[in-house]
Amino acid sequence: MSNFFLIVIIILIFLVIFQISKASEYVSLLKGEEKSRNQNNRVNGFLMVAFLILGLIGVWYCNKLYYPNNLFSYGAASTEGKEIDKMMWWTIWITGIVFFITQILLFWFSFKYQYKEKRKALYFAHDNRLEFLWTSIPAIVLTVLVVFGLKAWFKFTGDAPKNAQVIEITGHQFGWEIRYPGKDKILGRKDYKMTDPANGNPLGVDWKDAASHDDIHVPTTMHVVVNKPVKLVINSQDVIHDVGLPAFRMKMDAVPGTPTTLWFTPIYTTKQMQEKTGNPDFVYEIACDQMCGKGHFTMRGVIVVETQREFNDWMIKQRPEYLKSKAGMPAAPADSTKTMAIK
């Protein structure tokens, strides 16, 4: 019933607006078009400058509301992210200045040069010096941004530092699987045709590769060491996903068939970040940033950044997946891999 009334009220409001508008059209005809046009012009000219002022206040107020409590305002939690933040600030300043100048000019000109009977518009069709000025200045400023941006880009997309810890992360609908290379520091070979979750091989690891025997597989939660570069090898089993790391300012797609990489250096442990943000529930989250199906929004992973000692304590408790799969499958694992391979 209340829905019905709501609809009736909305329709009534529309009718009232419409009637007033129609009446105002008749009034303007009676008053004379010239006169009512000038009146409209004054109102809209005033609204232009009012919009400008209220808009500027709104920009300030919005910033006051949403700048604190924002992952951005806490600062990046990785060395590389700090660099991105710095560039972001440069860009904010440059685009911000242009924003304010052009918007103020736009609305101010609209207000100031609104129609007056006495005024004659200036016949001013071109001026090559002005055109040159506003071609060259943006070009120079943008060149500077490109140079700094590309320097950072080549660094981030270049090779990871040698001491980086390699971790594999695999996306599927709708979750993340994490694999550590184990003591030999080599990730065992994979072949997607060997994928067989029922027999303890959800990632399709080729057990014939001895390097796989000490690999450790955990779902969802990744543990990394603070101040030590991490290199992610990113895979997908089904559709395109994306490893989004908002706190570290990093992102890379997970593409089926084409492994990608991403590296960064976390600089605050999860605990430090909880203090820094004043949020005891803070965790580093892995957000899927590429539409991947109806559970896209639930595709959440967690990164725990901890000290080397905490990491070692955690790692020592993990059991290689190879052993787990053998334990779960007592009947001659070697044979089953063979049949899988034939398939």
Contact call for residue 47 and another protein (CB under 8 A): yes
Asked if the bond preceding 72 is cis, omega within 30° of 0, the reply is: no
Residue of the chain from 53, 95, 275, 341 that contacts another protein (CB under 8 A): 95
C-beta of 51: minimal distance to another protein in Å?
7
**Contacts of another protein in 188-217 (CB under 8 A):** 192-193, 195, 197, 204
**Contacts of another protein in 293-322 (CB under 8 A):** 293-298, 300
> Which of 214, 296, 286, 281 minimizes the C-alpha distance to 244?
286
Q: Which residues of 36-62 are buried (b: 16+ CB within 10 A; e: fewer)?
A: beeeeeeeebeebeebbeeeeeeeeee
Name the residue nearer to another protein (CB basis): 185 or 192.
Answer: 192
Neighbours of 204 (CB within 10 A): 18
Contact call for residue 106 and another protein (CB under 8 A): yes
Q: What is the DSSP letter of 158?
A: S
Name the residue nearer to another protein (CB basis): 131 or 184.
Answer: 131
Asked if 194 contacts 204 with a C-beta cutoff of 8 angstroms, the reply is yes
Contact call for residue 127 and another protein (CB under 8 A): yes
Neighbours of 5 (CB within 10 A): 9
Neighbours of 253 (CB within 10 A): 17
**How far apart are alpha carbons 18 and 24 in whole angstroms?**
10
Stretch that binds another protein, among 84-92, 180-188, 217-225, 311-319 (CB under 8 A): 84-92
Residue of the chain from 8, 53, 57, 130 that contacts another protein (CB under 8 A): 130
Contact call for residue 49 and another protein (CB under 8 A): no
Contact call for residue 276 and another protein (CB under 8 A): no
C-beta of 117: minimal distance to another protein in Å?
9
C-beta of 147: minimal distance to another protein in Å?
10
Name the residue nearer to another protein (CB basis): 95 or 227.
Answer: 95
C-beta of 257: minimal distance to another protein in Å?
3
Asked if 290 contacts 255 with a C-beta cutoff of 8 angstroms, the reply is no
Q: How far apart are the first and last CA of the chain?
A: 63
**Contacts of another protein in 218-237 (CB under 8 A):** 234, 237
Q: What is the DSSP letter of 271?
A: H
Residue of the chain from 1, 30, 123, 317 that contacts another protein (CB under 8 A): 123
Question: CB under 8 Å to 281, separation ≥6 — which residues?
Answer: 274
> Which of 295, 297, 271 minimizes the C-alpha distance to 284?
271
> How far, in whole angstroms, is CA 109 from its chain's centroid?
37
Give bridge partners of residue 221 from the DSSP assignment: 302
C-beta of 219: minimal distance to another protein in Å?
16
Tokens of 276: 């820094």
Residue of the chain from 220, 227, 279, 307 that contacts another protein (CB under 8 A): 279
Residues 217, 281, 220, CA angle at the centre, nearest 5°?
A: 15
Stretch that binds another protein, among 135-143, 181-189, 211-219, 314-322 (CB under 8 A): 135-143
**How far apart are alpha carbons 195 and 217 in whole angstroms?**
14
Name the residue nearer to another protein (CB basis): 69 or 308.
Answer: 69
Contact call for residue 263 and another protein (CB under 8 A): no
C-beta of 297: minimal distance to another protein in Å?
4
Residue of the chain from 9, 31, 35, 91 that contacts another protein (CB under 8 A): 91
Name the residue nearer to another protein (CB basis): 16 or 323.
Answer: 16
Residue of the chain from 79, 103, 272, 336 that contacts another protein (CB under 8 A): 103
